[in-house]
């Protein structure tokens, strides 16, 4: 078996149907992930960036020499960005209450995903990151957004930015909005702004391929959590007409008739969309899907959450984004069979992966290089246009609407475009030229990739035994056969 797993579909028996292969891949990747994490003991570690050239270098890096660093930062706190790793260090903060499709997994249950986030930040963006999984329960045992807000406030002096992750609604809205305004460093909610950015990027190109215009396209949003509500906001910011948009949650379509949402002020972001969208007052998914150009689903993992008959009711050259993780709301082959022209998911083992992984590394790198005070919606939209433009230059089509993670040249371009937008919006503390941001980002990303490559080549990162892969494959195939 090829350790690279580049030909993943070919690992499964020829008599497996497309549905069985899709299910088997999910089982295989989950089983292998568990075994590989156990083999490595996680996937991140702390490694010095400075050398030890003789015994007295201990006294340079620690006492007594480092006292001069402490007093210099005391007198000029901004010097911490140059005299420590703070200028390239992001905190990934979560209470693990909405992790992928698994819901509340307890504070430490989020470590696997947060380490994964840190891995991608380092490898794709040249950004160091540390996972911080927080118990957000108050004295009453309730998940309290104020606990997270206070935690992040107090952590600020150690980091250049904070990436919020996997916080359930409605707490996620308050945590982000309060911290964005009150903190001196960028507070970024990747599930919301990051997902919104990459979805917008894919949508821009999908509409071009389908010959549709964003301001005229009829769009249905299935799921009304932090991701989809922010996606809708960014899409409107990029030129979509909210009167052509309908969003649905578990109780039906959003609209001015939804007094339940209006009455709960914690869901103010959802109520904003109730006021702006669905002017005809439609109530059901079946009504909403008739003649729709676009479906953007971020709801419950499938594969039967989105029904084929809904897609059949859509207009010609229908665009379907089914981005629940770890299993899309409907598998791409089933969506295509129902008439979809373009299908995107959140997974890299299908075409058109609309996943935050092509967004946040470049966005954060651009923001931190100009030391932005915040990451605005305008910066997220600039990143989306950057991603879309990169893919368009390479040649977009129904199977390629957004760059993939292995197209590493996209990240410094994205970083530069985000940095320029930060400067235009006057949220950058350190104005740099586009060329300077691009070159610095490219160099840092190249360094990170070469570091990982060297660790692998020299055996400091060992190759997992082939038996690990074979056991996971055999187990997955057996599970499918037994069903």
H-type alpha helices, 41-110:
57-61, 67-75, 80-83
User: How far is Cα 359 from Cα 379, in angstroms, rounded to an integer?
Assistant: 11
Q: Which helix (H) or strand (E) holds 174?
A: helix 171-182
A 10 A CB-CB count for 39 gives 11
447 is catalytic: no
User: How far is Cα 411 from Cα 122, in angstroms, rounded to an integer?
Assistant: 12
- SS3 (DSSP) at 472: helix
Strand pairing of 318-322 and 294-297? Answer: parallel
| Contact status, residue 265 vs residue 259, Cβ threshold 8 Å | no
User: How far is Cα 310 from Cα 186, in angstroms, rounded to an integer?
Assistant: 40
Catalytic-role residue among 25, 43, 49, 62: 62
Q: Which helix (H) or strand (E) holds 94?
A: strand 89-94
Over the Cα atoms of the chain, what is R_g? Answer: 23
117 is catalytic: yes
| Contact status, residue 228 vs residue 171, Cβ threshold 8 Å | no
Whose structure tokens read 């990162």?
461
* Dihedral Cα 175, 364, 222, 171, nearest 10 deg: -10
Catalytic-role residue among 25, 117, 122, 174: 117
Strands (E), 213-272: 219-222, 245-249, 252-253
Measured in Å, how far apart are the chain's first and last C-alpha atoms?
Answer: 25
* Dihedral Cα 227, 232, 233, 237, nearest 10 deg: 130
Q: Which helix (H) or strand (E) holds 321?
A: strand 318-322
User: How far is Cα 440 from Cα 442, in angstroms, rounded to an integer?
Assistant: 5
Backbone angles phi, psi at 327, to 5 degrees: -125, 125
Whose structure tokens read 């129904």?
398
Q: Which helix (H) or strand (E) holds 360?
A: helix 360-369
**Helix, strand, coil in percent for the chain, rounding step 5:** 50, 10, 35
User: How far is Cα 445 from Cα 365, in angstroms, rounded to an integer?
Assistant: 10
- SS3 (DSSP) at 331: coil
Point out the residues that are catalytic: 62, 117
């Amino acid at each position: 078996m090829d350790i690279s797993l580049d030909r993943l579909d070919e690992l499964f028996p020829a008599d497996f149907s497309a549905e069985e292969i899709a299910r088997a891949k999910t089982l295989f990747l989950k089983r292998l992930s568990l075994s590989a994490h156990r083999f490595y003991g996680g996937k991140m570690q702390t490694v010095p960036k400075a050398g030890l050239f003789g015994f007295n270098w201990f006294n340079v890096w620690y006492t007594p020499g480092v006292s001069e660093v402490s007093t210099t930062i005391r007198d000029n706190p901004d010097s911490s960005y140059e005299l420590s790793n703070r200028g390239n260090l992001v905190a990934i903060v979560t209470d693990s209450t909405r992790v992928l499709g698994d819901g509340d997994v307890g504070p430490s249950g989020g470590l696997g995903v947060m380490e994964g986030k840190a891995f991608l930040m380092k490898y794709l963006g040249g950004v160091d990151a540390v996972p911080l999984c927080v118990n957000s329960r108050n004295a009453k045992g309730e998940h309290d957004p104020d606990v997270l807000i206070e935690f992040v406030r107090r952590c600020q002096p150690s980091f250049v930015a904070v990436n919020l992750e996997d916080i359930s609604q409605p707490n996620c809205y308050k945590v982000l909005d309060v911290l964005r305004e009150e903190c001196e460093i960028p507070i970024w909610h990747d599930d919301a702004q990051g997902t919104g950015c990459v979805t917008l990027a894919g949508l821009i190109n999908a509409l071009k391929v389908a010959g549709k215009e964003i301001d005229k396209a009829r769009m249905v949003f299935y799921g009304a959590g932090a991701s989809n509500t922010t996606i809708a906001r960014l899409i409107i910011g990029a030129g979509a007409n909210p009167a052509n948009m309908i969003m649905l949650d578990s109780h039906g379509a959003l609209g001015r008739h939804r007094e339940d949402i209006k009455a709960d002020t914690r869901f103010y972001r959802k109520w904003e969309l109730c006021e702006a969208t669905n002017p005809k007052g439609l109530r059901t998914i079946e009504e909403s899907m008739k003649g729709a150009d676009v479906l953007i689903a971020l709801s419950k993992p499938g594969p039967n959450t989105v029904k084929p008959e809904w897609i059949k009711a859509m207009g010609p050259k229908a665009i379907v984004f089914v981005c629940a993780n770890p299993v899309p709301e409907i598998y791409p082959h089933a969506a295509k069979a129902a008439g979809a022209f373009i299908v995107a998911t959140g997974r890299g083992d299908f075409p058109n992966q609309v996943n935050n992984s092509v967004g946040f590394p470049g966005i954060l790198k651009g923001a931190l290089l100009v030391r932005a005070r915040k990451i605005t919606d305008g910066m997220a939209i600039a990143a989306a246009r950057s991603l879309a433009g990169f893919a368009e230059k390479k040649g977009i089509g129904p199977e390629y609407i957004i760059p993939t993670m292995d197209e590493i040249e996209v990240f410094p371009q994205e970083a530069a475009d985000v940095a320029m937008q930060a400067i235009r919006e006057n949220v950058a503390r350190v104005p740099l030229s586009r060329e300077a941001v691009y070159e610095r980002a490219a160099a840092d990303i190249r360094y990170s990739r070469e570091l990982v490559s060297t660790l692998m080549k020299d055996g400091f990162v060992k190759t997992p035994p082939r038996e690990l892969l074979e056991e996971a494959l055999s187990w997955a195939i057996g599970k499918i056969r037994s069903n």
